[in-house]
Amino acid sequence: MKYVSDSIDTGVAGAEQEPLDLQLDSGLTALVGGDGLLRSGVMERFARRLAQDDERLQTLIAGPGPVGPALAWRRAVRILAQWSGLEGVDQEEAALIEGGSRAGDPPLWADSGVDGLRARVEELRRLPDALRTKAHELRGLRTDGMEVSGDLDVANMDWLRERQDAETHLLAYRDRARELKVRLRQLEEGGRDTACPTCDRVLSERFESVVDVIREEWESVVQDGSWWKRRKEQLDLKPPHVQDLEGKALRLHATMEEYTEEVERLRARLP
């Protein structure tokens, strides 16, 4: 901010002054005014310097009717304020001229951007703590995710192993039942003259007992095979605890994605 002011007593008249060179560089320029002759001269020169390159500004500063230095000063400063984004300056000035804002009215400076700037500063002040908190929560989620993923891998391996075991037993019992059924059919077709499948001697009077033993074994194999068939059908579907772990792993993964994006947003907002 650059100030242009007259430090000489405003009551001195006729003092010779060097020509004022008002160079308006970038940034906000403030003029400290008053009612003295020299200050009025500064105001007049400033208004003229501000408008000399732009006819539109000349019209804004001049306005309708006679314009003295003080009025030109006010208009020039108002234009500067508007250029600087301080749209609330003229509102506050009008409120002060009329005796201030009424009690209970919202502050006129709300439109000036000050409140927004303060809110932004407060937000920036809280960002590091928010980032640390969110990053800590993300690390906890990742730890939980690794544990659930490990449990899911173990559960999947146990399930696949049990399903493979059930399938192996089922195939073995089917083969044995098929073999016993073929032997029974051969015995029934050969009758008493059928040779013993173990010693190759004619069964004769032992025929019925041998047939009964083989039939009982076949029935037992068929019964056990039926149990393994049901077991295999059950294991074709994922067990409930495996499905629960899969759902938990998916939910944790989605939450980790959200937290990761939030951490990245917080980091991007850091100054």
Cβ 112 vs Cβ 86: under 8 Å: yes
101 shares its domain with 177: no
Residues 148 and 97 in one domain: no
Cα–Cα distance, 100 to 120 (Å, whole number): 28
Q: Spell out the per-residue pLDDT of the chain, length 271, in tens.
A: 444 444 433 443 444 445 445 555 544 455 544 556 666 666 666 666 655 655 545 555 555 555 565 666 666 666 655 555 444 545 554 554 555 444 455 544 444 455 666 666 666 667 788 888 889 999 999 999 999 999 999 999 999 999 999 999 999 999 999 999 988 888 887 777 777 666 767 767 777 887 888 889 999 999 999 999 999 999 999 999 999 999 999 999 999 999 999 999 888 877 6
Whether residue 87 is found in the same domain as residue 193: no
CA distance to 43, 46, 94, 96, 132, per residue, from 75 (Å)? 10, 11, 13, 16, 50
pLDDT at 150: 95
**Among candidate residues 232, 224, 210, the one with its CA nearest the CA of residue 175:** 224
Final residue belonging to a domain, choices 55, 84, 108: 108
Residue 73 and residue 57 share a domain = yes
Q: What is the pLDDT of residue 213?
A: 85
Identify the domain boundary among 108, 136, 169: 108
Count of structural domains, the chain: 2
Do 127 and 159 lie in one domain? The reply is: yes
Rounded CA separation 60/72 (Å)? 9
CATH code of residue 177:
1.10.287
- Same domain, yes or no, for 170 and 230? yes
